[in-house]
Structure 1
Amino acid sequence: MSYRTSPLRGRTAVVTGAARGLGEAMARQLSDRGAKVALLGREEQTLARVRDALPGESWCWEVDVTDDVGMARTAAQVRERLGAPSVVVANAGVAEGGPFEESDPATWRRVVEVNLIGSAVTARSFLPSLLDTHGYFLQVASLASIGAAPMMSAYCASKAGAESFAHALRAELAHRHVAVGIAYINWTDTDMIRDADEHPVLRELRGHMPAPARKVYPAAHVAGRLISAIERRRPAVYMPSWLRATQLVRAAMPPVVTMLSRRELPRLASSEPFEATGLLGAGGRAALTRTRSADR
């Protein structure tokens, strides 16, 4: 599909977690296709740099996706300045790693709040506009939505919850002509993944995955697949495409993961201590505290 003929041209699109990584890459490609883009995130200066680099009309808002009042206010301002959104991408996400028993309760909870509650708050805030435009809501999920992994309990639980939330929302809104899609993505080259690789246990766990499953993809490449799915209002998009096959065997995945973990975790523990990582990446550190939003 030519960028000049994209159905996104002239429409308003919202991206959460737009300050860096996949969110930034999606915002850039939406703008390239002629959309007006609202960038939402926690890092004011970084958001502003992304906004200033986009070729089309865009605005940015510093806001916490878990803040109901702040997100509702932001949604009203987006509508006033850019028009009612036709596309909303719930991309904001954080992760932490390490043994559950050693995890900090506040950090563990924060992962679930941002990844699951934040997605629901995003949907609630922009749903009036999506109903008016018969729009499209994309929930960015993960392979972790399908198959949980050790040392990532908060992330896996939150992404599985986000997937389930999106399925429920799709069923509720289908007769009202709002489409809901789920993006299942694997390892993407973001600061979160690069930070994870700095921790030996997480690096080793990824290294023991089958070769296709441990490959890291450039954020721009992943974003391109997701934007194409948005243009076609797809109910699901898989990046890489082989992830679709995991849906057929997802019931068998937990016992396989348990079997492999029973063998590999003792070996890893003998050479590297298992320690909690805290929130990963610069985006994770920016999400450490829940704050009120600020209009920008």
Structure 2
Amino acid sequence: MGRRSLRGQVAVVTGGARGVGELLARKLAARGARIALVGLEPEELEKVCGTLPTDCAHWHADVTDRAAMARVAREVRERFGAVDVVVANAGVATGGPFADCDETSWRRVVEVNLIGSATTARAFLPALIESRGYLLQIASLAAITPAPLMTAYCASKAGVEAFAHSLRAEVGHQGVRVGVGYLSWTDTDMVRGADQDEVLRELRGRLPWPAGRTYPLGPAVDRLVAGIERRSFHVYGQGWLRGMQPVRGVLPGIIGRVGQREMRRFAPRLAAAGGVRTGLVGAGGAADEKARAEG
């Protein structure tokens, strides 16, 4: 599809306090969109809103809370009059061997990334049907290929990809388009937080080019914005990810063999260090843990 102007449209972005969500809000606002931010860090959300060149409001809500998200959806419509674009971006991550990982953190990754995305879609779908709007689900390279030490994140991102594809088939006849955004390792708090663990950092560094490098945030978000303007089914934050789609069927076997070799190499260090650190990674993960603790 050709690009549509975003001027005057209302775009909802979850996880808008930092990283992909923050920069996406800024770039959408620069194109004239009015912005509704949702997240767990009200002070950070307020700072983002205060620097945008268009109308912006923010809501403090946990995307896994159905009642809270229903309230947010209702209040966004009351505040702006419509909802044209929803970006389900909120996400968290943890890493480490599945057998040794903290079960609460593992479960939380699936809850936020998968259940939270579905809860977001459920809350805003009536408004998107009314506007014949666009839902962009942020997935990941992790949806395309599995990886050791990332069981929760890979499972959740594969889940949101499948969810978005299924939802697209359900609501397309009502004028709603649903897209999936794929990102490789991108320079965000989450990736920097994961890199603080020596084993995770070295294991990622051994991935074959171009999967092993960290990509700048700006160009990736520019691609997401272009995908929103086109209401695309698939949006690739890094161009080479498109080429992964035709070969994804063989990737689990390859990763299985290579992963076994690498895990054998790192096993003594994992055992000596007591495994990879527990808990959610990055500043966003810390904010999620703090919000739940304060409950």
Same fold (TM over 0.5): yes
| Superimposed CA distance per residue, residues 22-75 of structure 1 (whole angstroms, 9 cap, x where no aligned partner) | 000000001000000001000011111111111111001110000000000011
Question: Conserved in 2, the CA contact under 8 Å of 1:12 and 1:84?
Answer: yes
- TM-score, normalised with respect to structure 1: 0.94
CA distance in structure 2 between the aligned counterparts of 1:289 and 1:83, rounded to whole angstroms: 33
1:275 pairs with 2:276: yes
1:58-105: CA deviations, max 9, x gaps?
001110000000000011111111121100000000000001111111
CA contact (8 A) 1:13 1:86 kept: yes
**How many angstroms apart in 2 are the aligned matches of 1:176 and 1:124?**
15
Scaled by the length of structure 2, the TM-score of the pair is 0.95
Q: CA deviation at 1:289?
A: 6.3
Mapped contact 2:12–2:85 kept (Cα < 8 A): yes
- Asked whether 1:248 is paired with 2:249, we answer no
The percentage of counterpart residues that share the same residue type is 55
CA contact (8 A) 1:19 1:46 kept: yes
Structure 1 equivalent of residue 93 of structure 2: 95
Partner residue, 1:161: 159
Report matched runs for 1:139-288 at 5 Å.
Answer: 139-272=137-270, 273=273, 274-288=275-289
Partner Cα distance (1:12, 1:263) in 2 = 49
- 1:85 is paired with a residue of what secondary structure? coil
The number of aligned residues is 289
Q: Distance in 1 between matches of 2:277 and 2:252?
A: 23
Task: State the distance in 1 between where 2:259 and 2:184 align.
Answer: 20
In the alignment, which of 17, 20, 30 is matched to residue 19 of structure 1? 17
Cα distance in 2, alignment partners of residues 44 and 174 from structure 1: 34
- SS for the counterpart of 2:185 is coil
* AA of the residue aligned to 2:284: G
- Contact in 1 for aligned 2:24/2:225 (Cα 8 Å): yes
Kindly indicate whether the alpha-carbon contact (under 8 Å) linking 2:205 and 2:213 is maintained by their aligned counterparts in 1. no
* Offset of residue 245 of structure 1: 1.5
Deviation at 1:290, TM superposition (A): 6.7
Q: Give the superposed CA RMSD.
A: 1.6
Offset of 1:193 from its aligned partner? 0.4
- 2:7 is paired with a residue whose SS is coil
1:239 shift after superposition: 2.0
Higher relative contact order (CA 8 A, sep 6+): 1
Tell me the residue number matched to 1:119: 117
Specify which of 132, 136, 145 is matched with residue 138 of structure 1. 136
Runs of 4+ deviating beyond 6 Å: none
Task: Note the residue ranges of structure 1 that are not aligned, 5 or more in a row.
Answer: none
Question: Displacement of 1:215 after TM fit?
Answer: 2.1
- 1:290 and 1:176 map into 2 onto residues whose CA distance is 37
Letter of the structure 2 residue corresponding to residue 235 of structure 1: F
Asked if structure 1 preserves the Cα contact closer than 8 Å seen for 2:224 and 2:235, the reply is yes
SS at match of 1:60: strand
CA distance in 2, matches of 1:150, 1:271: 15
Which deviates the most, 115-124 or 79-88?
Answer: 79-88
Mean alpha-carbon deviation: is it higher for 80-89 or for 272-281?
272-281
